Homo-oligomer: A and B are copies of this chain.
């Protein structure tokens, strides 16, 4: 089994933001030289997430963030965590801190409208994303 591991940084600009990192992930896959296998995109933070969603209309990610904000308000009666970002932790677990994408002939097997997003839920911050390709 061949393994390639790489890390890159994402600088976010707002409290909640979805940043398209598809090109960075594809770059790691290409550099790995691995033709067939699996790519894992992993976020080392507990107030952020990785998700896959539409890459065509930028309104989609805005609507996703709006829905999350309405579902999980910043202040909920009963919150005890002193940092005031319990909502960010909930969003992180709901979307999940990693995604797996299949790799075929050196290319990510994404659907036509799928992009890979780093989801910031407690920014702005500088974040780390790990990408591992096995094959």
Chain A interface, >50% SS class: mixed
Can you list, as one digit per residue, whether each of A115-134 has a CB less than 8 Å from chain B (1) or not (0)? 00000000000001010101
Chain A residues 27 to 65 lying within 8 A of chain B, measured CB to CB, are: 36-38, 40, 42-46, 51-54, 57, 59-60, 62-64
List B contacts of A1 (CB < 8 A). 1, 37, 134-135
CB closest chain-B residue, reference A109: B130
CB closest chain-B residue, reference A78: B66
List B contacts of A93 (CB < 8 A). 51-53, 64, 95
List B contacts of A23 (CB < 8 A). none
List B contacts of A63 (CB < 8 A). 76, 78-81, 86, 89-90
In this complex, how many residues of chain A approach chain B with their Cβ under 8 Å: the count is: 62
Determine if B81 and A36 form an interchain contact, defined as CB atoms under 8 angstroms apart: no
| Given A63-B90, A67-B90: A109 touches B53 (CB 8 Å cut-off) | no
Chain A residues near B (Cβ < 8 Å): 1, 3, 5, 36-38, 40, 42-46, 51-54, 57, 59-60, 62-64, 66-68, 70-72, 76, 78-83, 86-87, 89-90, 92-102, 104, 109-114, 128, 130, 132, 134-135
